[in-house]
Amino acid sequence: MALPWFLLVELLLYGSCFVCGIITAASVTISQGSFDGKCMLYGSVHLNNTSLGVLSSSSPSLCYFVSAISVCVAVFCFSFTLYWIYVACFDGEVKREKLWMNVTLGLSGVFLFFLLVTGCILKIGRDRLCDSVLHSLKDITRCDEAQDKSWLSPITGSQFYSRLHSAETAVWVNFFFWVIIAGLVLFQRKKQSEPQSAVENPSVTPSESEPFFNRPGRP
């Protein structure tokens, strides 16, 4: 059975949110691994001769939090998409109850809140790290230029800016998609709440369907 257009659009958005969540979690995890397990959000660096080294770092739980939120959103989107594909292919009846729409709206609000927090953490944390990099290296004007500099072993910071930037971009795209999802669910909920117009019975004659007191007088 074919899915309604608004549910089909919603499922496409869930698929996009799944991809964004995976990109964020992978980028943050790889970035943390390249810094020998240190979370460099809100971190600082120093220049040791000609190589950059870590001066301070945040608690690893901060990066774990960002990754965990992204993975939770991705798992929900993947599970929800699989459920509706199963319903459309095997159940045969595509119908959304009002209760589950309310649940989806509640989850949308929770995900939007945590994605907003995660986006702010990535934005501010990356900016703090870049300020420290620019302060340590006087010969560059952009943070991404520091990716070409050498780092003290075992750190490999050749892609630190690109990875954190990709993670932040994916979070904000994910946030935007969830705003659209919440709007679509509200639209479906409102449409379902509208009173259905009565279907006329073709076997009833026009005179029988007219109100009794509004019938024209007979000659």
- The model's pTM: 0.81
Number of structural domains found in the chain: 1
In the block, residue with structure tokens 């709007």:
183
**Would you say residue 212 lies in a domain?**
no
**Would you say residue 203 lies in a domain?**
no
> For residue range 42-80, what is the model confidence (pLDDT) as tens digits?
999 988 888 888 889 999 999 999 999 999 999 999 998
**Would you say residue 198 lies in a domain?**
no
- Give me the mean pLDDT over the 162-180 stretch: 95
**Would you say residue 179 lies in a domain?**
yes
Distances (CA, A) of 69 to 10, 75, 111, 164: 20, 10, 8, 16
Measured CA angle at 75 (ends 70, 77), to 5 deg: 95
**Would you say residue 100 lies in a domain?**
yes
**Would you say residue 209 lies in a domain?**
no
**Would you say residue 35 lies in a domain?**
yes
Q: Do the beta carbons of residue 126 and residue 168 sit within 8 Å?
A: yes
> For residue range 36-48, what is the model confidence (pLDDT) as tens digits?
899 999 999 988 8
**Would you say residue 91 lies in a domain?**
yes
- Domain membership of residue 185 as a residue range: 5-191
